[in-house]
Structure 1
Amino acid sequence: MKNVTLFLSIVIPTYNRLPILKKCLIALENQQIRQDSIGALDLGELNSPRVAPQVLDYEVVLVDDGSTDGTLDWLAAHGDQFPHVHSFAQNHAGPAAARNLGVKEAKGEIIIFIDSDLVVTEHFLQSHADALIQAEQRLGCDRLFTYGWVINTCNFDDPTSEPYKITDFSAAYFATGNVAIARKWLLEAGLFDTRFQLYGWEDLELGVRLKQLGLKLIKCPEAVGYHWHPPFSLDQIPRMIDREIQRGRMGVLFYRKHPTWEVRMMIQMTWLHRLL
């Protein structure tokens, strides 16, 4: 066996979320990485000797999706505080296009997707790496990805103090709030469909194509991220209505691409949902 560095690329799209983005990036800089062997991994090189990564390293690929809140200026002014962060910018085109750009610019063979309003724990990256390697050893192949816990919170000052709640459970197969996957599977599936420019469904739609490739979902509850959102107030109602309209439009696109009963259930497009 040869020793190598397992390099992770955390891809984060962001749009006008500077206050919580700061906490997101600080948490990623404060990762606790175990510098001993983390097991054997072949990264899909089925005809090559298996390798034993002993050093885990990472980068944060931040893609600004046309923010108007000074995100890029703040990054430029504080770049020395975030040595792992590499930032890129695009005109506002939605998270699908932003994630595709992030994958293109990423250096790692393993891509971890999170959102810019997610604050992770200090063992987040180590937990994903361990779960990927252990699952590959157990299954005898690398046709898999890991999916961590996402705990919703409106506690801005201390988001990681929020306990896990039954409402935090997700039955999604592939969602980009907290997922680690080999870059090669994203490329084989065709990346995100950039026609999803409004809110919703672009990650689940990619998940349909990944499932068709036979990838296995591996739950990784040790990789915890706290998804911050502001506490409810009446002035949010117009934005919430607009977001649901956007999600409905993207749901139509989702179903046109994959006119199956499974997708109808996802987007709540059944007679039962209409009755409810």
Structure 2
Amino acid sequence: MFFSVVIPTYNRLPILQKCLRALENQQFSDRESDESHYRHIQGYEVVVVDDGSTDDTLAWLAQERQQLPHVRWLVQEHQGPAAARNLGVKEAQGDTIIFIDSDLVVTETFLSCHAQALQEGEEKLGSDRLFTYGAVINTCNFDEPTSEPYKITDFSAAYFATGNVAIARHWLEEAGLFDTQFQLYGWEDLELGVRLKNLGLKLIKCPQAVGYHWHPPFSLEQIPPMIDQEIQRGRMGVLFYQKHPTWNVRMMIQMTWIHRILWGVLSLGGRLNERTMAPFLQWLIDRGKPQLALEAARIFLNWYNVQGVYAAYSATRG
């Protein structure tokens, strides 16, 4: 088993540095070298795909080449994460692909835990028609991201999300890789997940393979780009639905009467928005509760998403 860790990145140099250094510190226990029970890990590489960064990412990678022996990098014009991941897979040397994001910091046993879960899953199923899905813990602690405890808000019911997943390369190729029509924010990984599910792949949870997803503490300045992301996610959600017109996809992209009523009621028909809620959100932030402020902001962020998805859907039918 040879791992290729594929990481798309775009203007995230400070946290990318932590991400890559953590991947250089991987440890493999004696159990993984016991071939009577576990497939031997032959090695790993880290494939960074720079998606047109303008923050000196490439200069830093070249400068740190000696300290990052597992890392090699590819460059493309800014086309989005779907195209970046496809390039990474096509140029990867491994038989097993691990996708993480460039703002994820992993533990020292990250790769060995995925390897063990893959092997045990194959033995149980009698085939490699599976992938492993590790845990993602959100944190805004930049200095010590791995000190963050698991929270109920870290739970994810997604089938296939590229924040922390390991899969045999040939299944990605058989499914057709990521659809590069998804050039805006959202859904390119879950759409590929639908195609993988149609091939019969089973999700194997691997909570021991932990990644800490860093993001800056929530502030009011982040709200405009977050609203834009929700509108983009609505547009890409309609593309997702056009490819897979099922009730499950409608539920995922929030294009149902349930979501329209839920977020309409909670936002008072849009009256609770970034302007009217700003004083309350700032009050929470000033009291050291930025995460709670972010959860409160999701009231109007989800309303923007629902509005965006219905507007995009109407445009396709007009």
Residue type at the aligned position of 1:152 = N
1:192 maps to 178
Once the two structures are superposed, residues 69-128 of structure 1 have per-residue CA deviations (whole angstroms, 9 ceiling, x without a partner) of: 110111111111100001000000000000000000100010000000000000000000
Separation of aligned partners in 2, 1:54 and 1:88: 28
The Cα RMSD (Å) is 1.2
Aligned length: 261
Residue type at the aligned position of 2:14 = P
Q: Where does 1:231-242 land on structure 2 (aligned, <5 Å)?
A: 231-242=217-228
Compute the displacement of 1:34 (Å): 2.6
1:30 maps to 25
Separation of aligned partners in 2, 1:165 and 1:157: 19
Task: Please state whether the residue corresponding to 2:64 is helix, strand or coil.
Answer: helix
Residues 96 and 196, structure 1, Cα contact 8 Å, conserved in 2: yes
Task: Answer 1 or 2: higher relative contact order, Cα 8 Å, separation at least 6.
Answer: 1
Once the two structures are superposed, residues 158-184 of structure 1 have per-residue CA deviations (whole angstroms, 9 ceiling, x without a partner) of: 000000011100000000000000000
Percent identity reads 77
1:7 aligns with 2:16: no
Q: Which runs of 4+ in 1 moved over 2 A?
A: 34-41, 52-56
Residue type at the aligned position of 1:14 = T
Separation of aligned partners in 1, 2:34 and 2:233: 40
Which consecutive unaligned segments of at least 5 residues does structure 2 have? 263-318
Compute the displacement of 1:216 (Å): 0.2
Residues 48 and 72, structure 2, Cα contact 8 Å, conserved in 1: yes
1:62 aligns with 2:48: yes
Task: Please state whether the residue corresponding to 2:191 is helix, strand or coil.
Answer: helix
Which consecutive unaligned segments of at least 5 residues does structure 1 have? 1-5, 42-51
Compute the displacement of 1:40 (Å): 6.5
1:85 aligns with 2:89: no
TM-score normalised to the size of structure 1?
0.92
Residues 11 and 63, structure 1, Cα contact 8 Å, conserved in 2: yes
1:145 maps to 131
Give the number of the structure whose residues are more often strand, by fraction.
1
- Cα 1:246–1:40 change in 2 (3 A) is farther
Residues 40 and 137, structure 1, Cα contact 8 Å, conserved in 2: no
Separation of aligned partners in 2, 1:40 and 1:71: 42
Compute the displacement of 1:54 (Å): 3.0
Once the two structures are superposed, residues 222-267 of structure 1 have per-residue CA deviations (whole angstroms, 9 ceiling, x without a partner) of: 0000000000111111111111111111111111111100000100
Give the number of the structure whose residues are more often helix, by fraction.
2
Residues 64 and 87, structure 1, Cα contact 8 Å, conserved in 2: yes
1:207 maps to 193
